[in-house]
Amino acid sequence: MFNQNNQEITKIQEQTDTDYLRRYLRQCESEIMRLSYDENDKEMFIISNQDRILTKAEIRCALLNRMFELSYSEANFRDLEMTNKRLAQMEAKVSEVHKQRFQKLTSIHPDYKLDTHLTYCHDTQNPQLVIREDDGFYGSQWNDIIEILDTIHSIEMTDSLYYCSGDFYDSYHNGLSLKEPCKIDLTLPYDISFCYSLCELCNSQYYSIPDILRMTTYHIRQEVFLDEPLDMVWSKK
């Protein structure tokens, strides 16, 4: 999304000094926080700065993903596999829920339209982020940064990770069919076939793999439309 970051991300991916990456991460998160907090209207302040925030968030994502690579362990890989599996199961649930609701709606009126979305939803009062042993290794302000990203995507309606629309029960998004491979720029000892939702979180919404391993609250959102034409009749008196 932000081409000016490409060169910097390449440098990050070549970096092997975790102390350097951690210092850079703190600097990056401090800038995100500075761009996100206003005493009068926090949400509007975030939205007014969203391009600058997301530019920094993309760098942050690369930093955390690189630290994940450098601190690789079998346990972390198993956790990533399990998270990927659970998100894939949620995608299957979205398709099933969509199919059932769509069939009920169209039996009532043939012009009903339905969109079903899988989204991440950050509860600011009770975030329910997983506390992990390597929290100190990263030193990230998990709750604050994830809340900021969730605020942007929720308000801008860019929070959909996976969706079904109309009589399409198998999802596609931004022209990407589920039959096409989905990739994350991550180097691991073993291959893993990432589900679309995990790719969307990382590639488009700029949550890092360490973020995603801590995120637990996902929702199904449905939007119902009645596509019924109305004629405007002008009467002369």
The per-residue pLDDT for 13 is 95
- The pLDDT of residue 76 is above 90: yes
Q: Which residues pair with 113 in a beta bridge?
A: 225
**How sure is the predictor about 181, in pLDDT bands with cuts at 50, 70 and 90?**
low
SS3 content of the chain, % helix, strand, coil (to 5): 50, 10, 35
Residue type, 142: W
- The pLDDT of residue 142 is above 80: yes
Average pLDDT over residues 133-149: 95
Q: Residue written as tokens 């982020």? A: 129
Residue type, 83: T
Instruction: Return d(Cα 105, Cα 112) in angstroms, integer.
Output: 6
